[in-house]
Structure 1
Amino acid sequence: MAAERSSVATRILDLTVAGHRVATPSAVIGEGADALLLPALSSISAREEMLPLAHELGDTYRCLVPDWPGFGAHPRTRLPLNPANLHAFLDALLAAVPGPYALGVAAGHAAPYLVAAARRHPGAFARLVLVAPTWRGPLPTAMGPERAGWFGRIRRAVEMPLLGEALYRINISPPIIGRMMRAHVYAEPAHVTPAVVAAKHRITRQNRGRFGTAAFVTGGLDPAASREDFLALFGHGLPPVQVLRPDKAPRRSGAEMDALIATGRVTALPVPGALSAHEEFSGDVAAAIRSA
């Protein structure tokens, strides 16, 4: 653990994305070279999940940790949620706070978005670190492409007034959040305490929270259509890329990480944890980042 926790300041970035004003709350932690830390996209996504890692890195880096539009522990922005708008969000963020960044860190589904942004903005990042990178949402991962026709129907149902809110509340209850976290988010069930579950549940209860969840879970925010498309993001034209592969990542997601590592286009280190290793084992993740 870091010897002393850095103070946290909050900065609101006033961005314009696809013609929409997107007020973006961001944490600023630490001193030193600039670093951009992007939380994973998920039903419980919020910048708070990156704060333990930012504190660990705060004696070396000045970390900017924004919320994604449509996610976070605050009322959500009215922005159509799709890959094009998330790419545009990062473009707007890099225009407002251009760095250059000594370090870019992204977890889960944020990883391919960060890589694509680094390709669009040469020189913005000196190096990238991807923690448990994923590209395929939960339903496409679990059900396979042969059931793709259902995903849009499920998303539209959750987005409907009244019925959608009822479906959403049923599927993000504290018991379900706890079960999900023990299954693939955290590696150690004992770390999924009632306090942790309550904090995650508060994130899901934000106004318009169901829209981000519906988009992510059904694959509506998948930045690639296939493994081949995902792997094609990597290679020439990027700064050095390091993948931190959690030892207890779910089998299907871990296979995608292993396929990326096998290309030789990235360097890789194992870390403890599952899909939220950056939060659960922030000290180990920070040590791996510093070892590069």
Structure 2
Amino acid sequence: MTTTTNPTQLNSSIGGTKNFYNWNFLDKQYRVVYETIGEGNPVLLLPAFSTVSSRTEMKGIANILATQYQVTVLDWLGFGESQCPPVDYNPALFQQLLGDFVKSIFNSPITLIAAGHASGYALKFTQDNPDLIFQLILIAPTWQGPLRVMGLPDGVRNGVKNLVRSPVIGQGLYYLNTTPSFLRFMYKRHVYVDETKLTPEFIDQKHQITSKDGARYAPAAFVTGAIDPVTDREEFLQLLESGSIPVLIILAENAPPKSKAEMEAMAKLEQVQTVRLEGTLGIYEEYPEAVTEAMNNFL
């Protein structure tokens, strides 16, 4: 059973109404934050998983869409403002969370928009619940965690995850990988095209996300591939091919080579529509106007 608490305007991140979703999972309850803005047909935005994953990344898109739709943006468990418990973060957990959340919050079919790593979860949910999804949009879709992209074997990646979860050494490693200078380096290398947008204020906001108690547990699972929604490209493509719901893919032209190769493989499928835009893995945050225009043409 799942419940929601009363909404509040306090600490709104995208200008809407902040809500708390109390999610029961394996006999324990966890608080998940989501925010709703606008009126109209329902749209759910799923931010990409990352060390600094937060619904604030979707603010630009949410505010534009809110002029025509009722837009809901989710903070995944372990990320953003949601609770960050030291649980075993794995695909089953997030798939269950997405399913329970959609079925509890919405009472009519929704347009589902997912960025990055969230795309695989959106695809699986759509495949299992086609009657609940009206349309599906994937922005710069990926499925591999960074260390898997680098080719590290399973044993090494699992060892890194456990090390980061450890009390002392893990806290130190996490700190080194979330300093403002390192975050700026990663944004410049993989996430944004225009580095002039990486102002000290912008990086400070990202750094604050990493400073929350328990913030290292879920990102450790993401980075090491422990929450990869599929095991290989073929499985991801099969999800796309097997669906009956209209799908739009927004391909980021400046994405890292390996990530772009995955997007190009998706674009070859007849079942999907593809729009190519300037941008890399953070295209939805850096260029919300262009992304939203492409989505509106599809919607």
After TM superposition, the score normalised by the length of structure 1 is 0.94
Query: Who is 1:153 aligned against?
Result: 159
1:162-181 equivalence runs, <5 A = 162-181=168-187
AA aligned to 1:153 is G
| 1:126 aligned counterpart, secondary structure | strand
Query: Who is 1:215 aligned against?
Result: 221
Query: Who is 1:183 aligned against?
Result: 189
Equivalent-residue separation in structure 2 for 1:77 and 1:96 (angstroms)? 22
Deviation readout 1:18-41 (Å, 9 max, x if unpaired): 333121111101111100000000
Query: Who is 2:254 aligned against?
Result: 248
Query: Who is 1:94 aligned against?
Result: 102
1:197-236 equivalence runs, <5 A = 197-236=203-242
Contact map agreement 2:33 2:81 (CA 8 A) in 1: no
Contact map agreement 2:77 2:83 (CA 8 A) in 1: no
1:22 paired residue among 30, 39, 58: 30
Instruction: Report the alpha carbon displacement of residue 77 of structure 1 after superposing the two structures with TM.
Output: 3.4
Equivalent-residue separation in structure 2 for 1:285 and 1:15 (angstroms)? 31
Query: Who is 2:69 aligned against?
Result: 61
State the superposition RMSD in angstroms: 1.4
Contact map agreement 2:127 2:242 (CA 8 A) in 1: no
Equivalent-residue separation in structure 2 for 1:271 and 1:171 (angstroms)? 29
1:72-87 equivalence runs, <5 A = 72-73=80-81, 75-87=83-95
Contact map agreement 2:120 2:229 (CA 8 A) in 1: yes
Unaligned runs of 5+ residues in structure 1 are 1-5
Contact map agreement 1:36 1:63 (CA 8 A) in 2: yes
Equivalent-residue separation in structure 2 for 1:201 and 1:74 (angstroms)? 16
Deviation readout 1:67-124 (Å, 9 max, x if unpaired): 1011114551343200010101011102211342441100000011011111111211
Equivalent-residue separation in structure 2 for 1:78 and 1:36 (angstroms)? 26
Instruction: Report the alpha carbon displacement of residue 190 of structure 1 after superposing the two structures with TM.
Output: 1.0
Deviation readout 1:10-62 (Å, 9 max, x if unpaired): 01111222333121111101111100000000001011111111001111110
AA aligned to 1:110 is A
- After superposing on structure 2, the runs of 4+ consecutive aligned residues of structure 1 that deviate more than 4 Å are none
| 2:134 aligned counterpart, secondary structure | coil
AA aligned to 2:112 is G
Aligned residues: 285
Identity, % of aligned positions: 33
| 1:257 aligned counterpart, secondary structure | helix
